[in-house]
Structure 1
C-alpha cells in the first residue's frame, strides 16, 4: 500500500470506478504507462517532488484516506457490475445550457456544446466511431481568458486528436488533453503579456470529451462535472462526481504554491485568487498556479441519464445531489409547456437548465451561473 501511495498523490489521470471487474484488472497499469516522462520544468514533476517530500504523519493520513477511497471504489464497482448487464450501443449525447449574470456587472462565463465533432477529428483510429465535446469556462478578472478558451481549446484538441491507428486510444487521448490545455494556456498568456497593460484575466475549465461511450473529463479550478446515474437497487438517481476541484486550501495544491514561492492567505493564492489551477492568470503562474488538468475517465452505462457541467455559481447554493434531483424532477414534471415543432425531450431539458439557473440566483448565488446538461440518449 505504501508503494501504491507514493504513486497515488500526483496522478493526473484519476479513473472513476471501471464498469466491470475485467476492466478493473487493466486500469491500474493504464495511468501513466507509455507517456513521455515529465521534464523538470513540468508542473506535474514538481507536484511529484512535493508529495514525496511530505512528512510521515501526512503519509499516514494519506494511507488512511487511500484505504477509505479504495473501500468506496469497491462499493461503487459492485454497483457498476450490476448496471452493466448486456452490451450498450453508442449512446447519443445532446447538450443544453442556461446562463445567468446574477449580481455581477458582466457575464464572464463561457461554454461550448459540440454534440458531434467526429468529422472534424478524422482520420480517426478504427475503434472510434463518435467524438463529442462539452465545456464550461468560469472567467475571473475579465472575460478574455474564458472566451479565448471557449474559442480555442476544442480547436487545439481537434488538431492534436489521435489520427489513424494508435497503440492505445486511452493513453493517446489523455496525452492529447494534457498537451491541449498546455498549448491553449501558453497561447493565451502570450497574447495577454503582449498587451499594454498586460491582461490579468483567468478562467477555470471543465471539459467533457466523449469518445464513443467513454468520457474523459479534464478539469482546472472549481467548476464541476456530475453524472446522473440510476441505481437499480435503490431505485434512485445518484450524483457521481466526474471532476476534482482545485482550491489553494487543498494540501497538495498549497504545497506546490508554497514551493514555488507563493503563499495561501484567507483560502486564496496571495490572498486574491480562489483557484490553484487555471487558464491565464499570468501573474500567478510564477506562484505555483498551473494549467495541468486532472483527467478522469468514466464508462457510460445504460443507467446513465445525463451529465451536469456547471460553474461554482451553481454549487455555492446547490449540492451535486440537490442539483441532480432538481433536474430529475424537472424532467418528470408534467406541467412543462411544449412548443410546436419542438421535441418533448428538448423542451424538458431546456426547462431543467433554465429552472436550475433561476433557482440558483433566487437562492442568493451572487456569481455568474452557467448550467449545462448533456442528455444521454438511449
Structure 2
C-alpha cells in the first residue's frame, strides 16, 4: 500500500468515525429532547410559579384554636366539641417522629346528648390506640368511626336510656396535612386567601348521591326525611330507630365518614367547624368573610367563635350552636387586594348586525 492510499483510507475512516459520532450525538439529543419535553413550556412566569409553590410547600402551620357554644333556643344542649393539641401526648402514647397530631371535633346530638358525649370521649382514643396509627391515618379514622358506632350499640343494649344519635365532624392536622372526616350535617370550611373552601358535604336526604345510596339499601326519603324519621343520612348511634341500621349491611343510615385530605399552604388562613345551627343562617363564604373581619379587628380566635355564635342567634337560628376554629398563622388574615379589571368595550361588525337584523325580521 502506498502512502497516498494509506492517507486516503485514514481520511475515509475519519469521515466514518465523524459520521458515527454525529449519529450518536443525534440519538442522544433526540433522547434528551424526549425527556425534556415537559420542560419546553417553562418560561419566566412558570419558573416564578414554581418558586412560589416551593415556598408554600415549606410552610408549617402555627396552630391557634378557639371554640364557643350556646344552647340557643332549644330546651337542652345536645352539642359538644373537643380540641386536643397533641393526641399522642394526651393519651400517653409514644409519638412517631416530632410532629404532633392535633384533633378537633364538633358533635351534634339528636334525641338526647348521650351519643354525642360517648363519641367525643372515646373516638380520639380509639384512633390513637389503633395499630396503624398514625401511618395509615385515613384507614384508621374510617375504621374508628365504625368501631365507635358498634360500641355505642352495645352500650345502648345494656342501658336503653342512652339511646340517641349524633353527627360527627373531626379535623386532624399533622404537619402540613389537614384530614377532615364527616358524618352528618356539621360543616368544615377552610379560608384560603379569603375564599371559602368547603371541606365536607352535608349528608341530608335531599342530596342526590345520598338518596341513591339510601334506596339501594332498602331505605326511602319521605318529605325530606330518611325513612320519614331523620333529617340526616349519616350518623353515629340511632340504633333504637327501627329500619335505619342493620348489622349485616349497615342499613340506609351510614356511620361511614366521608374524608377529605388537603396539604396546607401559606394561603390557608383558618378552618371553621360548625354545627348545622350555624350553617342554617351562614353561607360558607359569608362565615369566612365575617371571621376574617373579626380576626383583623382583634386577632382573638375564641372571641371570634363567640361572635359567630352570637351573630347566628341575631340572624334567627333556633338550634344549639357550636363553633370550633383553628388558625394557621399567628398574625390576623391580611387585607385582600382586589384587582381592578380593565373595561372591555364590545362591538358588533356590520356583517353581524345585518345578520341579526335578518333573523329578527324572519
What is the CA-CA distance between 1:256 and the residue it aligns to? Answer: 2.5
1:362 aligns with one of 309, 314, 322:
314
Measure the CA separation in 2 of the matches of 1:319 and 1:256.
26
Q: Any conservation in 1 of the 2:88–2:94 contact (CA below 8 Å)?
A: no
Consecutive unaligned residues in structure 2, runs of 5 or more: 1-48, 331-362
What is the CA-CA distance between 1:263 and the residue it aligns to? Answer: 1.5
1:47 maps to what in 2? none
| Residues 369 and 226 (structure 1), Cα distance of their counterparts in 2 relative to 1, 3 Å cut | same
1:308 maps to what in 2? 272
1:239 maps to what in 2? 196
| Residues 261 and 327 (structure 1), Cα distance of their counterparts in 2 relative to 1, 3 Å cut | same
Measure the CA separation in 2 of the matches of 1:244 and 1:81.
32
Measure the CA separation in 1 of the matches of 2:50 and 2:256.
32
Q: What do you get for the CA RMSD once the two structures are aligned?
A: 2.1
Consecutive unaligned residues in structure 1, runs of 5 or more: 1-79, 231-236, 337-344
Q: Any conservation in 2 of the 1:142–1:202 contact (CA below 8 Å)?
A: yes
The answer to whether 1:264 aligns with 2:233 is no
Measure the CA separation in 2 of the matches of 1:243 and 1:293.
10
Q: Any conservation in 2 of the 1:218–1:296 contact (CA below 8 Å)?
A: yes
What is the CA-CA distance between 1:211 and the residue it aligns to? Answer: 1.7
1:160 maps to what in 2? 130
1:285 maps to what in 2? 245
How many pairs were matched up?
273
| 1:173-192 correspondence to structure 2 within 5 Å | 173-192=137-156
The answer to whether 1:205 aligns with 2:175 is no
Deviations 1:86-144 (A, max 9, x none): 14243222321111111100110010001222434744444x62210000001111101
Deviations 1:178-233 (A, max 9, x none): 1110111111111112224x643111111001121101111000101111111xxx
Using structure 1 for the length normalisation, give the TM-score: 0.68
| Residues 200 and 102 (structure 1), Cα distance of their counterparts in 2 relative to 1, 3 Å cut | same
| 1:52-201 correspondence to structure 2 within 5 Å | 84-86=53-55, 87-119=57-89, 120=91, 122-126=93-97, 129-160=99-130, 162=132, 169=135, 172-196=136-160, 199-201=162-164
1:69 maps to what in 2? none
Deviations 1:6-48 (A, max 9, x none): xxxxxxxxxxxxxxxxxxxxxxxxxxxxxxxxxxxxxxxxxxx
| 1:327-346 correspondence to structure 2 within 5 Å | 327-333=291-297, 336=298, 345=299
Measure the CA separation in 1 of the matches of 2:92 and 2:54.
31
Larger Cα-atom Rg: 2
The answer to whether 1:223 aligns with 2:186 is yes
Measure the CA separation in 1 of the matches of 2:221 and 2:131.
36
Q: Any conservation in 2 of the 1:228–1:239 contact (CA below 8 Å)?
A: yes
Measure the CA separation in 2 of the matches of 1:81 and 1:324.
28
Deviations 1:258-307 (A, max 9, x none): 23322111111121201111110112213410100001101111111111
Measure the CA separation in 2 of the matches of 1:225 and 1:276.
17
